């Protein structure tokens, strides 16, 4: 008879193979399950997971032969306690249907990176969900609708097939980190300057252009600004207000010209500055000598 008191199962980073026994899903007291980085195979249905009504933290990542059945819609699922779900590298082809219309609090931290989710990601696929973090990196997405993410703090869309303009983010959201590198985004940086909670903006390795908005320097919480390998041009703007918290500023591989920004001396926490492969025309930047935290300087 399955245990009625077992709450935590951690079997990660082993060489466990074969299917997950059906009796495992009879342990209704389970709150945390970590079976990541094994050699598990077979099908996991939403019906199986729905039996574990106390689930809070689930990690099935890095089981490439495990298949999540996404066609089962006959059960009314309820995961009211679930706050962390990691399904990276689990051979997923579509967004998990069982997560729709879930009354989950606190907002769910969802990792479905390194899967095979393709085409356009529509807003109805996450209708009714409360998401805190969403990691869709290393899939095959060609587009995404970002609507209704009132509580979303981190969006990771790195290394997909996204194209077109950068997504517009509502000022009513609590987004502090946007990762969208390694895609084919074009156009200019939209009005992110009103998102005062931004701490990470990673737009590297796209085809973005025009000028870098001056107002980005007014984001007082911004710590990482990565614009590597784009098509930004014009002069390097004097972006940064006093007491900037910027730690990494990467401009490598653009078409910027002129002198380095004198406002960089306001970035007292700056550790990495990379302006290589531009058209910078300046003398050695002795003014950066006041930056006691600077560890990497590439010009």
Q: Name which of 89-98, 108-117, 144-153 the model is least confident about.
A: 144-153
Burial track 165-201 (b if 16+ CB lie within 10 A, e otherwise): ebbebeeebebbbbbbbbbebeeebeebbebeebbbb
pLDDT tens-digit series, residues 236-285: 888 887 778 899 999 999 999 988 888 888 889 999 999 999 998 878 88
Is residue 98 scored above 80 in pLDDT?
A: no
| Cα–Cα distance, 266 to 246 (Å, whole number) | 9
pTM to 2 decimals? 0.90
H-type alpha helices, 69-213 = none
| Cα–Cα distance, 164 to 184 (Å, whole number) | 7
Give the CA angle between residues 179, 184, 185 to the nearest 5°. 65
Task: Give the pLDDT confidence score for residue 200 in this predicted structure.
Answer: 95
| Cα–Cα distance, 195 to 171 (Å, whole number) | 6
């Amino acid at each position: 008879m399955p245990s009625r008191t077992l709450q935590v199962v951690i079997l990660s980073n082993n060489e466990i193979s074969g299917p997950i026994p059906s009796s495992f899903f009879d342990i209704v007291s389970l709150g945390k399950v970590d079976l990541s980085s094994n050699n598990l195979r077979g099908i996991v249905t939403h019906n199986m997971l729905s039996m574990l009504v106390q689930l809070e933290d689930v990690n099935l990542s890095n089981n490439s032969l495990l298949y999540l059945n996404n066609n089962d819609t006959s059960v009314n699922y309820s995961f009211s306690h679930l706050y962390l779900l990691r399904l990276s590298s689990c051979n997923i082809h579509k967004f998990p249907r069982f997560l729709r219309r879930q009354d989950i609090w606190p907002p769910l931290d969802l990792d479905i990176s390194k899967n095979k989710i393709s085409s356009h990601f529509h807003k109805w696929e996450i209708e009714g969900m409360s998401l805190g973090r969403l990691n869709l990196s290393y899939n095959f997405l060609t587009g995404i609708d970002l609507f209704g993410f009132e509580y979303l703090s981190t969006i990771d869309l790195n290394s997909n097939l996204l194209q077109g303009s950068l997504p517009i983010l509502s000022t009513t959201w609590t987004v502090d980190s946007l990762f969208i590198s390694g895609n084919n985004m074009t156009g200019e940086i939209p009005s992110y300057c009103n998102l005062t909670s931004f701490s990470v903006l990673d737009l590297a390795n796209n085809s973005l252009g025009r000028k870098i908005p001056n107002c980005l320097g007014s984001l007082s919480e911004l710590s990482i600004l990565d614009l590597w390998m784009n098509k930004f041009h014009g002069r390097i703007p004097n972006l940064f207000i006093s007491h900037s918290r910027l730690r990494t500023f990467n401009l490598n591989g653009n078409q910027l010209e002129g002198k380095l920004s004198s406002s960089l001396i306001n970035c007292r926490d700056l550790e990495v500055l990379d302006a290589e492969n531009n058209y910078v025309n300046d003398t050695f930047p002795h003014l950066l000598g006041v930056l006691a935290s600077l560890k990497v300087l590439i010009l």
